[in-house]
Amino acid sequence: MPIYRAPVEDFRFLFNEVLELDKQGDLPGFADLSPDLVDDILTNAGKFCEEVLQPINHSGDEEGCHFENGAVRTPKGFKDAYKAYSEAGWGGLTAPVEHGGAGLPHVIGLAVLEMSLAANQSLTMYPMLTNGAYDALIATAPDWMKEHIVPKLISGEWAGTMCLTEAGCGTDLRLMKTKAVEQPDGTYRMNGTKIFISGGDQDLTDNIIHMVIAKIPDENGVIHDDLSTVSFFMVPKVLVGEDGTVGARNQVNTGGIEHKMGIKAQATCVLNFDEAVAWRLGPKLEPAKPGEKRSSSAGMAGMFGIMNAARVAVGVQGIALGDVAYQNGYAYARERRVGRALNGAQEPDKPADLEIIHPDVKKMLLQARSFVEGARALASWTGLQQSIAHSVRPEAETAALLADLMTPILKAYCTDMGFEAANLGMQCYGGHGYIRDNGVEQFVRDARINMVYEGANGVQAMDLVGRKLGRKGGAAPMALFGLLTGWIAENEKDDAMKLFVVGVKRGVENLQSATLWLAANGPKNPNDAGAGATEYLRMMGIVMLAYLWGRMAKASLGKDDPLHKDKLMCARFWMERMVPECPMLLERIQAGSATIMEMQ
Amino acid sequence: MPIYRAPVEDFRFLFNEVLELDKQGDLPGFADLSPDLVDDILTNAGKFCEEVLQPINHSGDEEGCHFENGAVRTPKGFKDAYKAYSEAGWGGLTAPVEHGGAGLPHVIGLAVLEMSLAANQSLTMYPMLTNGAYDALIATAPDWMKEHIVPKLISGEWAGTMCLTEAGCGTDLRLMKTKAVEQPDGTYRMNGTKIFISGGDQDLTDNIIHMVIAKIPDENGVIHDDLSTVSFFMVPKVLVGEDGTVGARNQVNTGGIEHKMGIKAQATCVLNFDEAVAWRLGPKLEPAKPGEKRSSSAGMAGMFGIMNAARVAVGVQGIALGDVAYQNGYAYARERRVGRALNGAQEPDKPADLEIIHPDVKKMLLQARSFVEGARALASWTGLQQSIAHSVRPEAETAALLADLMTPILKAYCTDMGFEAANLGMQCYGGHGYIRDNGVEQFVRDARINMVYEGANGVQAMDLVGRKLGRKGGAAPMALFGLLTGWIAENEKDDAMKLFVVGVKRGVENLQSATLWLAANGPKNPNDAGAGATEYLRMMGIVMLAYLWGRMAKASLGKDDPLHKDKLMCARFWMERMVPECPMLLERIQAGSATIMEMQ
């Protein structure tokens, strides 16, 4: 059976020695955040993940969710584990104190999220989506919802979902058919079908608050094939009055659950809205001015908040699945005996040496590990940027740009690489990895979803290259290059840092060349930008991990214990073996789109 | 539901325009092989795969195999399809005429195999292993087996298996525990348990002929932890007398079947040998001479023949799964509408453009396709080398070296890339690809086994670098470089070929540098060779496909129909986007093993 050991020690290293959270007391939520408190949270969360969430991960996959009489039943043990999760307060860790949350910064929330996901992605997705729902309500909802709904979401008594996709539209939400019509009392009646709704129904909570986007017919009753009339709605499974009284079942019905490759214990639902009562959130859609076309929709903004948080969270899923698969591959390779070391038997008295003595096996494991630990640093660093963005520091605006720029990197790079890492962990098992009872193949199946949902990874690349790079005159990439070249300048006189500075510098130079190439060619031929977008995103991921490995190396130099020596080993591995991908990616980008566009 | 269209047209191009099979009449089995006959075989096989094998692929995955009362039952429809397969003679296509086969060359057999595997890998594996069994018997068995068993295997009336793996040993067969003790009548009694036996039991045939390796106790009754006493045995499920009479059940019992990530319709069995009657094949184990250690085993040789053929076949599985996933991704992207073309709407009257107009989608599909068609050319070319190796041509020896060198390339490179291609096909579906009903995720799960069984891909890399490169003074790589530089010299004056020659040349130069580096450093530090073996294998795969794309480009120049224009597009894609991996792989190889070996 698979194992999982929460990486508490690694987070401690990151928080104390690299990001130095104790020096961030001026940031919102950091004032009372002593290293002891952080340690307590990490230790308890880690223990909870290892002891409560992980033991029902494999059984949850085997059993899957049930759909009977229009309702979902989660696998054995999920109800109790979810209750324990909520009671321990893990669901409200980063929620504002005034609504009943713990008010902790994102960097802590992401750490706990990663450990929960590694232990049990299917289960953790239920509260993870709730988190998105209460954040959106806090940002957009009227007071009565903040009073009567938000605290129940934060406590985990109720759960939340996000409802975007329909059968005919996923990435292209313009094609959405679900509509909502205003009633004299100011509420709406919603009709339509949403698909792929994670946690769309379950037996863990008494109520589910669906955050839904739908179209409002325009002043002529027409539904447009664009985003102009899209609005953002709160649609509860069980109706809630403005005074908080819980009423009858709303007409939101579960049409079925999907049978999927993985995350089988997570209920992916078809939801039918049949004259469902819906509350519009955020600013009201104004009629188009005569002669003008409505071009943007107020409604998407509400959903974007959830979507961005969800994209970061999905990136963390990639890291989490990569880690747990790595841990199992490592454990297996340290137990299984096969062959002899290439330079002579290591344990001649045993019938064979351990699998892990083989350089090819070590390399697979190091590739997974250096990605996981580097990406963990990137997610934590991004969480810190989010807090800086909300502070009064002079670099707040830069931090906001960087955090925004990292959203597609975390989502796409970390899920692509997380899937690779999961496969490397599985590969260490040989044929035994393919057997379901051994549990490691589940990580590969579960990790595969992360590359497709919440915006397929190619869509993330288009978001990065088509939107984020150019916005505000290229402010985000300029902020990034400022950060990276600043770090290089700061460290290049240090001989002990030479190897790492050279690696980061090489990555940065390639990334700069790629950015210039895209800036020069994209406007002339947008297909050139599209053809290189995935490679560009991957390169930025590699360079960011090089930068963070550089910082981790610096924090580890001269320390002779296993943790710090391993950090230096991983940092060297990243510079020697992963950074060399950058020139190849640059060459692919510069190949442009001519050959590709020939395909019919 | 997934589709499959047999690539008959592509094989026709390869056979007629690239490999020019009509000019190979001097090779064994080619004399009567007219283009019309080849066309008939391909067309009929393709039709059979599309109409009989493919329709039960998805249902077979859903239902899986059953294990009841000690016996395996295959999914609905498998028995009939297998019967039709055998009756059509597909199982004996390359078997010698004198034993009842069709005596066709490997290059034809591999084409039919690929189409069958793409249509239904689980089902095709049953006759595929039978093929290995009858080849081994023809090579090693006494006459009565050739008379009474081989024809029944060739006709498909009976099936065969290969039994190597045990719970404690897969790659490292030295640790094998199954033993066989000689009886006064010359037969043996076998005891032990073999695992992961594909087709170890089924309900398709009346008898199963197991090809088993086991240890014979030495003259002192001792079983050694090495290969010295390993011998090769024929162990039937139902006993067969030397006169061909079928007798009682042998004591080979199925202990259970594995529940796996994929190939669920293929029964992966635990087989218990309890005093099973076994016939030793090949030369008898001689007692060690006084003072000398027995260092090699006669028995492994018999199994190596099956293993090498199986490795090539598994490589073809990688190509097949990559192709069928590509075909489905392509079909989906040509139906699904999402977004607008980056340089302006293509179909402004439709609510959105087709998914395939996006360069990122085209690129994913081209990557899968250029691999699949390039690898198909490599497999066919290798099949041709096998025939040349068995001919009286002066280049027979070179051809044997090249075919042998390509075995790990086909097995590992084509299954790694086949898995990537399957994932690319699935990625085109977005979230819909993750849903089991849509069928494309099955290809990813099925393709995953190909990287682990028949020698995990890391083991293939060690075989390539540790054995095949250096054997006979480096004769194999020298033959390869002779071939490649010869082709470059032949074509570099041709302006129309410039792009392709430059690509092949760049690949060859990197491969030469890598070979020299390994030759210089491997002997001093074998871990340096081990640390770069996987990269070296991958590079050789890329270079071989570049060579074959160069040849396909040459055959396509100046032809203006879609097939040949697409070939030129894929060839350019390979040179522009895949060959650039070579310098990166070289850099990784030259990074050596120092950092990697630090891992504890």
> Which spans in A52-105 are helix H?
57-63, 78-87
Q: What is the pLDDT of residue B295?
A: 58
Helix %, strand %, coil % of chain A (to 5): 60, 10, 30
Q: How do residues B178-230 score in pLDDT, each as one tens digit?
A: 999 999 999 999 999 999 999 999 999 999 999 999 999 988 888 888 888 88
User: Residues A111-123: what's their mean pLDDT?
Assistant: 98
User: Residues A49-71: what's their mean pLDDT?
Assistant: 98
Q: What is the pLDDT of residue B246?
A: 96
Give the Cα separation of A141 and B478 in Å (integer).
Answer: 73
Give the Cα separation of B443 and B436 in Å (integer).
Answer: 11
Instruction: Tell me the CB-side half-sphere exposure of residue B426, using CA atoms within 13 A.
Output: 32
Residue window 188-217, chain A: list those with CB within 8 Å of chain B: 196
Q: How do residues B334-363 score in pLDDT, each as one tens digit?
A: 999 999 999 999 999 999 999 999 999 999
Query: Which of A454, A492, A535, A576 does the annotation list as catalytic?
Result: A454
Q: What is the pLDDT of residue A295?
A: 58
Give the Cα separation of B399 and B389 in Å (integer).
Answer: 5
Choose among A352, A436, A584: nearest Cβ to B580: A584
Residue B555 burial (C-beta neighbours within 10 Å; 0-12, 13-18, 19+): middle
Q: What is the pLDDT of residue B226?
A: 82
Q: What is the pLDDT of residue A302?
A: 80
| Assigned token pair, B354 | 């087709």
User: What DSSP character marks residue A354?
Assistant: B
The answer to whether the CB atoms of A452 and B444 lie below 8 A apart is no
User: Which pTM value belongs to this model?
Assistant: 0.97
Residues of chain A neighbouring B432 (CB-CB closer than 8 A): 170
Strands B159-163 and B208-215: parallel
Q: What is the pLDDT of residue B90?
A: 97
The CA-atom distances, in angstroms, between A171 and each of A164, A307, A597 are 9, 12, 21
The answer to whether the CB atoms of B452 and A430 lie below 8 A apart is yes
Fold of A8-155: Butyryl-Coa Dehydrogenase, subunit A; domain 1 (1.10.540)
Q: What is the pLDDT of residue B360?
A: 97
Domains of chain B by residue range: 8-155, 160-285, 457-600
Q: How do residues A88-101 score in pLDDT, each as one tens digit?
A: 999 999 999 999 99
- Helices B562-573 and B526-556, packing angle to 10 deg: 150
Q: How do residues A450-460 score in pLDDT, each as one tens digit?
A: 999 999 999 99
Q: Does B358 touch chain A (CB under 8 A)?
A: yes
The CA-atom distances, in angstroms, between B378 and each of A285, A367, B41 are 60, 29, 20
* Positions of B marked catalytic: 454
| Assigned token pair, B160 | 């065969």
The CA-atom distances, in angstroms, between B373 and each of B48, B423, B466 are 21, 17, 29
The answer to whether the CB atoms of A588 and B580 lie below 8 A apart is yes
Residue A285 pLDDT exceeds 80: no
Do A29 and A465 touch, CB atoms closer than 8 A? no
Residue A393 pLDDT exceeds 80: yes
Q: Does A458 touch chain B (CB under 8 A)?
A: yes
Matching residue, tokens 């697979």: A364
Helix %, strand %, coil % of chain B (to 5): 60, 10, 30
Least confident of B288-292, B300-304, B539-543: B288-292
Closest-CA distance of chain A to residue B220, Å: 20
Residue A269 pLDDT exceeds 80: yes
Q: What is the pLDDT of residue A301?
A: 78
Closest-CA distance of chain A to residue B98, Å: 37
Name the average pLDDT for chain A.
96
Q: Does B393 touch chain A (CB under 8 A)?
A: no
Residues of chain A neighbouring B337 (CB-CB closer than 8 A): 168, 172, 175
User: Residues A291-302: what's their mean pLDDT?
Assistant: 69
The answer to whether the CB atoms of A596 and B359 lie below 8 A apart is yes
CA-angle at B596, arms to B594 and B600, nearest 5°: 110
Give the Cα separation of A238 and A249 in Å (integer).
Answer: 4
Q: What is the pLDDT of residue B301?
A: 78
Task: Report CA Rg, chain B.
Answer: 24
CA-angle at B114, arms to B111 and B116, nearest 5°: 110
The CA-atom distances, in angstroms, between B257 and each of B261, B342, B443 are 13, 51, 21
Closest-CA distance of chain B to residue A241, Å: 35
Give the Cα separation of A492 and A487 in Å (integer).
Answer: 8
Q: How do residues A338-361 score in pLDDT, each as one tens digit?
A: 999 999 999 999 999 999 999 999
Q: How do residues B89-131 score in pLDDT, each as one tens digit?
A: 999 999 999 999 999 999 999 999 999 999 999 999 999 999 9
Closest-CA distance of chain B to residue A109, Å: 27
The full 3-state SS of A436-483, as one line of letters, equals HHHCHHHHHHHHHHCCCCCCCHHHHHHHHHHHHCCHHHHHHHHHHHHH
Q: What is the pLDDT of residue B168?
A: 87
User: Residues B573-584: what's their mean pLDDT?
Assistant: 98
Give the Cα separation of A27 and A34 in Å (integer).
Answer: 13
Residues of chain B neighbouring A339 (CB-CB closer than 8 A): 171-172
- Residue type at B510? N
Name the average pLDDT for chain B.
96
- pLDDT cut 70: percent of chain A above it: 98
Q: Does B96 touch chain A (CB under 8 A)?
A: no
Do B200 and B161 touch, CB atoms closer than 8 A? yes
A61 falls in which pLDDT band (50, 70, 90)? very high
Nearest to B496 by CA among B545, B564, B563, B550: B550
Fold of B160-285: Butyryl-CoA Dehydrogenase, subunit A; domain 2 (2.40.110)
Nearest to A276 by CA among A311, A249, A304: A249
Closest alpha carbon within chain A to B581: A584
The answer to whether the CB atoms of A436 and B595 lie below 8 A apart is no
B283 falls in which pLDDT band (50, 70, 90)? confident
Q: Which of A164, A499, A595 to mutate to test the interface with B (most CBs of B within 10 A)?
A: A595
Extended beta strands in A89-206, E state: 159-163, 179-182, 188-198
CA-angle at A138, arms to A132 and A142, nearest 5°: 130
Q: How do residues A438-485 score in pLDDT, each as one tens digit?
A: 999 999 999 999 999 999 999 999 999 999 999 999 999 999 999 999
Residue A144 pLDDT exceeds 70: yes
| Assigned token pair, A117 | 């996901």
User: Residues B393-405: what's their mean pLDDT?
Assistant: 97
The answer to whether the CB atoms of B444 and A441 lie below 8 A apart is no
B272 falls in which pLDDT band (50, 70, 90)? very high
User: Residues B405-427: what's their mean pLDDT?
Assistant: 98
Non-local (6+) Cβ contacts of B37 within 8 A are: none
Strands B268-281 and B188-198: antiparallel
User: What DSSP character marks residue B466?
Assistant: I
Q: What is the pLDDT of residue B287?
A: 67
Residue B222 burial (C-beta neighbours within 10 Å; 0-12, 13-18, 19+): exposed
The answer to whether the CB atoms of B430 and A452 lie below 8 A apart is yes
User: Residues B461-489: what's their mean pLDDT?
Assistant: 96
Choose among B361, B452, B576: nearest Cβ to A431: B452
Matching residue, tokens 């295959």: B74
